[in-house]
Amino acid sequence: MDQAKPRLLIHGASGRMGRALLRLAAERPELQLVAAVSRSGEPLAEAPDGVPVLPVARLAEVPDFDVAVDFSLPEAFEPLVAACRAKGAALVSGTTGLSPGQLEALDEASELMPVLWSANFSVGVAVLRVLVHQAAAALPAWDADIVESHHVHKKDAPSGTALSLGAMVALGRGSQPHYASLRCGDVVGEHLVQFAGPGERLELVHRATDRDIFARGALEAAVRLAGKGPGRYDFGELLLASGRT
């Protein structure tokens, strides 16, 4: 094993995102994939030879790792944070639908380890958040609505991205938008933020057409987060600060 490279754990490996991560981790020679975890631990065709796939019940037995990339479900949250703490590892998580208590627990964990949670790991949404903040500040009296569409398998609503865009609206104008959620077909993820005033409407839209963008964004975050000190890190700041996307 090459100990100079941050050792990567993929958590939620059997899911839509987990399988994309397993496939795309090979694009990041800066990282060394050492293990994958899913609920069942059943073998995965996407896992490279020699990389064990463990069931979550055996999470305590995973080999040492430096950074975990997690796309799973809220019920998997506590054991994963505990495992990262035990290993002294960084956590990159894109799991949505976390409870307010679980989000607070991320703050607490970040006193001991680097933590980056983001509802959306696409470059476009990182920029959209900035634009929504600006538009909301400029249009405080207009109606604000967020419409999100996702595939039928998605469990949480509104989406994490919709809620994070809503937080930008609230930051810009002091009031929350209204939300609408559609679950249809195999839509990867679409978010429309609409400001409506008398006689006109401003629409800001992001459409994801390939979930590989989220996997690549999370792996980029893992590369940038590994080796940093404890703290809460923001995907947009980490990504856009360098001016390189």
Ligand X SMILES: NC(=O)C1=CN([C@@H]2O[C@H](COP(=O)(O)OP(=O)(O)OC[C@H]3O[C@@H](n4cnc5c(N)ncnc54)[C@H](OP(=O)(O)O)[C@@H]3O)[C@@H](O)[C@H]2O)C=CC1
Taking the complex as a whole, the smallest distance from the CB of residue 19 to ligand X amounts, in Å, to: 8
Q: Coil, strand, or helix at residue 27?
A: helix
By CB under 6 A, which span of 35-43, 81-89, 128-136, 174-182 interacts with ligand X? Answer: 35-43
* Residue in 150, 155, 191, 206 annotated catalytic: 150
Among residue numbers 121 through 180, which ones bind ligand X (CB under 6 A)? 121, 156, 160
Token couple for 129: 């958040």
Nearest CA to 7 out of 63, 72, 57 is that of: 63
Nearer to ligand X, 130 or 138 (CB): 130
Q: Which of 72, 96, 110, 194 binds ligand LZUJQKHR (CB under 6 A)?
A: 96
Nearer to ligand X, 143 or 210 (CB): 210
Nearer to ligand LZUJQKHR, 79 or 124 (CB): 124
Binding residues for NADP(+), as ranges, are 39
Residue written as tokens 């923001």? 234
Asked if 115 and 91 touch (Cβ cutoff 8 Å), the reply is yes
Strands lying side by side in the sheet with 143-150: 178-183, 143-150, 189-197, 200-208
In angstroms, the CA 56 to CA 111 distance is 25
Q: Is 178 a catalytic residue?
A: no
Q: Is 150 a catalytic residue?
A: yes
Nearer to ligand LZUJQKHR, 72 or 96 (CB): 96
Q: Which of 31, 66, 97, 168 binds ligand X (CB under 6 A)?
A: 97
Site map (CB under 6 A) of ligand LZUJQKHR, residues 139-178, x = contact: -----------x---x----xxx-----------------
Nearest CA to 109 out of 88, 138, 126, 130 is that of: 88
Residues in contact with 188: Cβ distance below 8 Å, sequence separation at least 6, in sequence order: 150, 151, 208, 209, 210, 211
Question: What burial letters (b/e) apply to 74-98, b meaning 16+ CB within 10 Å?
Answer: eebbeebbebbeebebbbbbbbbbb
Residue length of the chain: 245
Q: Does 119 bind ligand LZUJQKHR (CB under 6 A)?
A: yes
Q: Does 118 bind ligand LZUJQKHR (CB under 6 A)?
A: no
Residues near ligand X, by CB under 6 A: 12-18, 38-40, 56, 71-73, 75-76, 94-97, 118-121, 156, 160, 211, 214
Active site residue ranges: 150, 154
Residues near ligand LZUJQKHR, by CB under 6 A: 96, 119-120, 150, 154, 159-161, 189
